[in-house]
A and B are shown apart, each in its own frame.
Chain A
Amino acid sequence: MSAAPPILETHQLTGGYGKVQVLRGISIAVGEGERVGLFGPNGHGKTTLLKTISGLMRPWGGSIRFRGQAIERSSPGVIVGLGLIHVPQGNTLFPELTVQETLELGAFTPRVRANKAQNLERAFALFPRLAERRRQLCKTLSGGERQMVSISVGLMCEPRLLILDEPTLGLAPKVKDELCEAIGVISGGGVSLLLVEQDIEFLLALTDRLFMVDHGEVTREVRSETGLDHAQIMDLYFGVEARQ
């Protein structure tokens, strides 16, 4: 557990789709300014956990606290207003909106409306390529550029905690490096980070602490500074410790 007071804390969180239970009592905490990663096999509840935290799905049971406030019954709009920003997987965005229109919509909530111009400049400074493409429709962008727009939309909401769901999915190594640097800059500015990622190098480069999610439960908690390397993570993935 981090020494800083947690900005986000889930306690015994359960949830799922229809009758299918996906989350089986997940308790995690992210400290103020901390960078936490989630990893584990596909289809074991990572995305479901994020959707439940951001209010897209109602939890079945358990609690979620953000900056000390209970949010498990709040709507996504309220949660965004508090500064918990979830950038979803697959950077689907709005195909028929331009880059600039999309980013300006990011400043829709009253809390950040006044700072729209300033935040737009900040996003363009972080991703200069988006400034060049500001009049283009999102559907004409490359996958990497779309991911940049997604993250920038998050920045327009002035996140206190930024949740990223597999930002490097399907991207070229060069673009991954670019994103890694940008996310580092964002978290360096004091934004707490909750990152789901399959690319282990990317995950280790950006986080201080990792939770392994397996069958809807947290099965392992590891600190990056204990020198966990790629091989050990792969062992965890493929269940080598089960043989011990």
Chain B
Amino acid sequence: MSGWESVLTSGIVLGSLYALMASGLTLVWSTLGIFNFMHGVLMTVGAYLAWQFAVDRGFGLGLGLGIVLAVVCLVALGCLVEILLIRPFYGRKDLVQVTVMTTLAGLTFLENSTLLIWGPRLKQLPPVVEGQFRLLGLTMSNQEALIVLLSPLILLALWVFLRFTRVGNAIRAVGQNRESAQLMGLNVQALFMTTFALATVLAGLAGVLLGSIRFITPTLGSDPLTKALIVSIFGGLGSVGGSIGAAYVVGMLEATSVFAFGLYWTPSILFVVMIVVLIFRPNGLFGRQS
């Protein structure tokens, strides 16, 4: 297998994970109007929770039930974070700045909590499927293939929810015009909490997927958070569809750069590309002129 083939497979895998991360980040930005620095650590917590429920050294409930229980805990955690760190500041003019501080504080708190609870030893989730397969000259482990397939399915479910359900439409409406939404009797606070819980689950699922191909550490989510930030700016802030497209572009770019220039230069190269793109397309790669 030549190097470029592995670039392609690793690019697609990274892109799938970034798409999951960035969609949640963008959903919170476009609905609540805040940037959530906890998104990465919520991903880490998702991976640890699934590990705790699933593996024999934890509660040993098996991977399927483990993931389900992790999702339930993530919903509760998402609601709690929204109530404690974001809700007290709605309606303030400096909401964005204040929540940058509160979510950064939450990030530090949760990151150190995971270290206290689960310790510094590396952990890994068992793969759902073993082995590898070849397709069109590409070699991929079955676990990676699962990520590549599962991630678009989760995003499709998100799209169907936002586009075709009553609550999904209400979430989009609240993001576009809060006052009109209130005057139609929509419960803005409940919708904000739902949105934040949904984004937390998306982050946690990304963590579960990543936790099976990388080691779980308390800082598992910090690099994906940076990438998700690049992706959502790249995709035109606030557009979930744009973020998903941009996620695959950034994933490919990263894989190419790692192969061609090495791991150390890759973060700088990503930021340079982002800056160049924003010079020529200030609204992002897929953003519309406004």
Residues of chain A having any CB pair with chain B under 8 Å: 54-56, 76-77, 80-81, 85-88, 92-97, 101-102, 104-106, 108-109, 153, 157
Contacts and interface: CB of A to CB of B under 8 A. Distances in A.
Contact of B170 (A55, A81, A105, A157): A105
Given A88-B179, A94-B180, A80 B185 contact: yes
A94 B183 contact: no
Contacts of A85: 183
Interface string B160-189: 000000100110110011011111111100
A96 to B, nearest CB: 6
Sorted from nearest, which 10 A-B pairs have the closest CB atoms?
A80-B185, A109-B185, A76-B182, A94-B176, A77-B185, A94-B173, A86-B183, A77-B187, A101-B169, A94-B177
A33 to B, nearest CB: 22
B200 to A, nearest CB: 24
B184 A106 contact: yes
18 contacts: A55-B182, A80-B184, A81-B185, A85-B183, A88-B179, A88-B180, A92-B180, A96-B172, A97-B169, A97-B172, A97-B176, A101-B169, A105-B169, A105-B170, A108-B186, A109-B184, A109-B185, A153-B184
Nearest to B183: A86
Interface size class of B (residues with CB under 8 A): 10 to 19
Contact of A56 (B169, B172, B182): B182
Given A93-B177, A96-B172, A88 B183 contact: yes
A153 B172 CA distance: 16
Contacts, number: 62
Best-buried of B166, B183, B186 by chain A (most CB within 10 Å): B183
Contacts of B185: 76-77, 80-81, 108-109, 157
A77 B170 CA distance: 13
A105 B186 contact: yes
Nearest to B186: A108
A8 to B, nearest CB: 16
Contacts of B182: 55-56, 76-77
A121 B93 CA distance: 40
Given A92-B180, A97-B176, A104 B186 contact: no
Contacts of A77: 182, 185-187
A87 B182 CA distance: 11
Nearest to B168: A101
Given A97-B169, A105-B169, A108-B185, 20 more contacts: A56-B183, A76-B182, A76-B185, A77-B185, A80-B183, A80-B184, A80-B185, A81-B185, A86-B183, A88-B179, A88-B180, A93-B180, A94-B176, A94-B180, A104-B169, A105-B170, A105-B186, A108-B186, A109-B185, A157-B185
A157 B183 CA distance: 10
Nearest to B190: A77
B176 A96 contact: yes
Contacts of B176: 94-97
Contact of B173 (A55, A80, A86, A105): A105
A112 B169 CA distance: 17
Given A88-B179, A88-B180, A108-B166, A94 B186 contact: no
